[in-house]
Amino acid sequence: MSFDMREILKLKHKILEDMKKFFDETGVEKVVVGFSGGMDSTVSTLLCSEILGWDNVELVHLHFGIFSYRRTIENVKRLAERMGKKVAFLNVEEDQRKVWKHGPSCNLCTKKVKIRRLKEYANGRLVISGANKSDSWGIHGLRYHDGVYSPLFNLNKAEVYSLLVDYGFDLADVKVGEKSGLSREGCKLKHLLKMLISMEYHGHAVAKSNEILLEILDRTTIDTKIANVKIMGPLSRNIALVNISPPPSDEAKEKILERLRDLDEIDEVHIVDREIKLTVMANPGLFNDEKSRRRIEIGKFEKDFSEKVKVEWRKSKNSRLWTFHVVDFEWS
């Protein structure tokens, strides 16, 4: 991807001016950056440091326990060292479990876990988020709200990437989780498409399977756009749906199937290589909200599956389910 350096400088100047104005008007001198080690939080760190000075910008990484990719921790430490900064680690695995036991909800996890824990740590200091137009917070949230400021709020991924390049970094420096390109995902829990009732069964299934998948793919030359293992099925049965795009060799597929079938926590494994239909139980409130259902279809299924997805929604009578639960599938 090539950039017009004059346009990058204009964009950077505009953002720095907006940030400086905001900091001056609010009297902000020190900030805490929620630092994932990805592109957005890295650019946010560099911009804030340019305005406030390196000593006034602290990095805090939310560690998801078994749901963090091993490469994420390594990347966070390496990036922080390259920028001459220390990074604090907060373990939020138990907080996540309390959210996910009622069904998948990345938005609730962001609000009730990530932002809450960052604000508690900041203790009155401004929290910096990397939210932008590419994510749900950047689309549906606010640039500044209740102690959290998102300097990249009005930018798309390509614009954020152009700033990363201007600071002398590249995508290889900030790759987190299972995706390459201009996307990243640093939390494996996202791929558990049902309630997290048993950490040893449901939690370990999604954590172990996704780590194994990346371990195998790292030995190939494939530049994956999608690489994940979705765990679905009834609470008593873990079904693993493996999504990889572009598809790997037959040899790699066989290795993936072999390793995942060896896991005690997984009962059934399939590679998604054709159109699929999911049966999804939904909380009555979600079931009756067509727009919310469509957002989930786009954000949870269409973007993360390697083939086309159809969804059959059914109303759940389970009062413990706050969101949705993928209970079954069939090939279309």
Q: For residue 202, give the nearest of 187, 189, 213 by alpha carbon.
A: 189
Question: Is 80 exceeded by the pLDDT of residue 135?
Answer: no
**Residue type (1 letter), 281:** M
With respect to residue 182, please indicate whether it lies within any of the assigned structural domains: no
**Can you tell me the mean pLDDT for 55-84?**
92
Per DSSP, 190 falls in state G
Determine the Cα–Cα distance for residues 218 and 197; give it in Å rounded to an integer.
Answer: 31
Helix (H) or strand (E) holding 62: strand 57-63
Question: Is 80 exceeded by the pLDDT of residue 49?
Answer: yes
Determine the Cα–Cα distance for residues 189 and 178; give it in Å rounded to an integer.
Answer: 12
**DSSP β-ladder status, 31-34 and 126-128:** parallel
Question: Is 90 exceeded by the pLDDT of residue 67?
Answer: yes
Tell me: do 201 and 69 sit in the same domain: no
Question: Would you place residue 54 in the very low, low, confident or very high pLDDT band (cuts 50, 70, 90)?
Answer: very high
Q: For residue 184, give the nearest of 62, 38, 304 by alpha carbon.
A: 38
With respect to residue 185, please indicate whether it lies within any of the assigned structural domains: no
Question: Would you place residue 177 in the very low, low, confident or very high pLDDT band (cuts 50, 70, 90)?
Answer: low
Tell me: do 98 and 65 sit in the same domain: yes
What pLDDT digit, counting tens, does each position of 244-263 carry?
Answer: 999 999 999 999 999 999 99
Q: Given this model, what pLDDT does residue 62 score?
A: 95
14: tokens are 């505009």
With respect to residue 179, please indicate whether it lies within any of the assigned structural domains: no
With respect to residue 209, please indicate whether it lies within any of the assigned structural domains: yes
Helix (H) or strand (E) holding 260: helix 250-261
With respect to residue 186, please indicate whether it lies within any of the assigned structural domains: no
Tell me: do 167 and 202 sit in the same domain: no
Tell me: do 118 and 17 sit in the same domain: yes
Tell me: do 17 and 150 sit in the same domain: yes
Tell me: do 211 and 248 sit in the same domain: yes
Residues of the chain with pLDDT > 70: what percent? 94
How many independent structural domains does the chain possess? 2
What pLDDT digit, counting tens, does each position of 265-322 carry?
Answer: 999 999 999 999 999 999 999 999 999 999 999 989 999 999 999 999 999 999 999 9
Tell me: do 147 and 266 sit in the same domain: no
**CATH number of the domain where residue 228 is located:** 3.30.300
Burial of 199 (0-12, 13-18, 19+ CB in 10 A): middle
Tell me: do 225 and 292 sit in the same domain: yes
pTM for the model stands at: 0.87
257: containing domain = 192-331
Tell me: do 16 and 152 sit in the same domain: yes
Tell me: do 252 and 326 sit in the same domain: yes
Least-confidence region, from 87-91, 137-141, 268-272: 137-141
Question: Is 60 exceeded by the pLDDT of residue 140?
Answer: no
Q: Given this model, what pLDDT does residue 322 score?
A: 96
Tell me: do 169 and 273 sit in the same domain: no
Domain end, chosen from 144, 173, 202, is at: 173
**CATH number of the domain where residue 168 is located:** 3.40.50.620
Question: Is 70 exceeded by the pLDDT of residue 22?
Answer: yes
With respect to residue 161, please indicate whether it lies within any of the assigned structural domains: yes
Tell me: do 157 and 221 sit in the same domain: no
Q: Given this model, what pLDDT does residue 292 score?
A: 95
- By the 8 A CB rule, do 175 and 63 touch? no
